Amino acid sequence: MYLGIDIGGTTIKFGLFKSSGALDKTWTIDTNREFDGMFIVNDIEASIGDNVAIHTLKGIGFAAPGPVDGSLVIEAVNLGWQNVDLKAIFEQKFPDVPVTVENDANAAALGEAMSRPDAYQSMVFVTLGTGVGGGVIIDQKIVEGAHGVGGEIGHLQVVEHGVTCNCGQTGCLETVASATGIVRIAQERFKTPTALIKDTMTAKVIFDLAKDGDAFAVDVIDYVTDVLAKALQNIAVIIDPDAFVIGGGVAKAGSFLTDQLKAKFDKIAFSNTRNIPIELAILGNNAGMYGAYHSVKKEVEA
Ligand SMILES: [Zn+2]
């Protein structure tokens, strides 16, 4: 059995997997963020003890919400953690059980890549949520990069003289294609707000209006998908992946989003990269848990 554990700011998800890859059982515990998250590690240990026969455990994979260097969680603002070495901690608690640690977006990318009927060799995962995140998979491995920044697709520079991003730079993809970016663009362009949108402007409302043919919303989404398609084109000529996979809350717009994106991508794609499919994520909030499992299984079986 393998454990995939996704540590989030509100809940911690556990998935117990058979070596065949079948999910045997899954459960969650609340994340206790008191005192800089100092109880989290012991809570996880106790929950493993309650739910798993330790002698059957071949490995534990973690997904953590922050930059990871090797097995060190450098900083996880949502947990209150700084420099927590999960591998060292858990290999001390369970001496014969190998441990891997991945950044949660990277783990989600690996989970999505490995969970298709034919697992992708290479894939680029883009999450459009409150921010824009992602992960790059090459040869079924996460591209972490020399500084742990591989796959930070949200900070592709896509707008000249753009607004300031959370990262401190300007014009990043995150300022356009995140849920907050979409609302910001709509608000900027909205000269005469109607009651319909004024008080309830969310990315979902804008997409719903666009689906109904509202000219204003169509225009906003048209701009967002233009920018996103160009970003994917730039990635395509570097990675040439088997597929792009789009996840996160904004991807709930479904094929309305991916069809538009694919049509625009195809128009600007270089050579055979226009054959790259743009798909929707299939694992939802479980992607990180699946990826954590695949990461440790790969390490153990390598
Ligand atoms: Zn940025």
Tell me the CA–centroid distance for residue 138 and ligand 1, in Å: 24
Quote the pLDDT of residue 67: 87
Long-range contacts of 73-81 (CB under 8 A, 24+ apart): 73/101, 74/148, 76/7, 76/37, 78/8, 78/9, 78/33, 79/7, 79/9, 79/31, 79/33, 79/36, 79/37, 79/40, 80/33, 80/35, 80/36, 80/37, 80/38, 81/36, 81/37, 81/40
* Ion ligand 1: residue ranges with CB closer than 5 A: 155, 165, 167, 169, 172
Task: Report pLDDT for 194.
Answer: 55
Ligand 1 centre to CA of 175 (Å) is: 7
Domain with residues 2-110, CATH architecture: 2-Layer Sandwich (3.30)
pLDDT tens by residue, 241-253: 999 999 999 999 9
Distance CA 78, CA 67 (A): 12
- In the chain, where does the domain assigned CATH 3.30.420.40 lie? 2-110, 118-281
Collapsing DSSP to helix, strand or coil, 2 comes out as strand
The Å distance, Cα 113 to ligand 1 centre, comes to: 25
Q: Residue 289 C-alpha to ligand 1 middle, in angstroms?
A: 26
What is the biggest distance separating any 2 CA atoms in the chain, rounded to whole angstroms? 65
Collect the ranges in the chain with pLDDT lower than 70: 191-199
What is the predicted pLDDT for the residue at 147?
82
Ligand 1 centroid–CA 208 distance in Å is 27
- pLDDT of 195 reads 44
- Domain 118-281: CATH class, spelled out: alpha beta
Quote the pTM value. Answer: 0.92
Q: Find the 166 Cα to ligand 1 centroid distance in Å.
A: 6
Query: How many A from CA of 130 to the centre of ligand 1?
Result: 13
Q: How far is the CA of 171 from the centre of ligand 1 (A)?
A: 7
- Tell me, in angstroms, the distance from the centre of ligand 1 to residue 3's CA: 33
Q: Give the distance (Å) from ligand 1 centre to CA of residue 2.
A: 35
